[in-house]
């Protein structure tokens, strides 16, 4: 089936922030004030690209041609942010990913997938809780992670550590 990453996604579900509920609930003691001051929705910006299913198949992985084998189509590492506009932690992660995109411009692609519009892609990866982040090295298997840190600084540190650990590995 198209669930190559079911095991990875299952682990991600356990640590998800929003789950399937459309509520203002947040993870890690983030208060409503921090969410309301982060009014950014997660659409693409100059440092990220919003992907449709068709763009994902063309740029990342054609799971129709190789449903059981991961074949990354990109030329440099990538992070895919699975998000929804109603998700508080997703709204917090969006501007942080924007900063990360600027810092790693030319080294790492930042993609975004709206799980409300691209339900099939969310299903392919077993996404039931968001935000979820797929770290894709240029060569090798991707790693799925979810959730954000307790603060902006913790979240940014988490992204940087994961980029250095999984995407920009020095050989």
Active site residues: 87, 90
φ, ψ of residue 62 in degrees (nearest 5): -90, 90
Identify whether 149 is preceded by a cis peptide bond (ω within 30 of 0).
Answer: no
**Length of the chain counted residue by residue:** 171
Report the alpha-carbon distance of residue 54 to residue 159 in Å, rounded: 27
Q: Which of 96, 168, 170, 171 is nearest to 133 (CA)?
A: 96
């Amino acid at each position: 089936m198209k669930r190559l990453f079911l095991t990875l996604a299952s682990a991600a579900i356990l640590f998800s922030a929003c789950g399937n509920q459309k509520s203002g609930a947040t993870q890690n003691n983030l208060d409503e004030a921090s969410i309301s001051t982060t009014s950014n929705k997660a659409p693409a910006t100059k440092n990220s690209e919003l992907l449709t299913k068709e763009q994902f198949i063309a740029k990342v992985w054609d799971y129709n041609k190789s449903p059981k084998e991961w074949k990354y189509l990109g030329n440099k590492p990538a992070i895919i942010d699975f998000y929804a506009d109603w998700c508080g932690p997703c709204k917090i992660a969006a501007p942080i990913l924007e900063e990360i995109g600027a810092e790693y411009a030319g080294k790492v692609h930042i993609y975004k997938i709206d799980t409300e519009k691209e339900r099939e892609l969310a299903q392919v990866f077993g996404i039931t809780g968001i935000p979820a982040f797929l770290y894709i090295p240029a060569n090798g298997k991707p790693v799925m992670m979810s959730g954000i840190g307790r603060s902006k600084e913790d979240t940014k540190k988490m992204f940087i550590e994961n980029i250095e650990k999984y995407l920009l590995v020095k050989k």
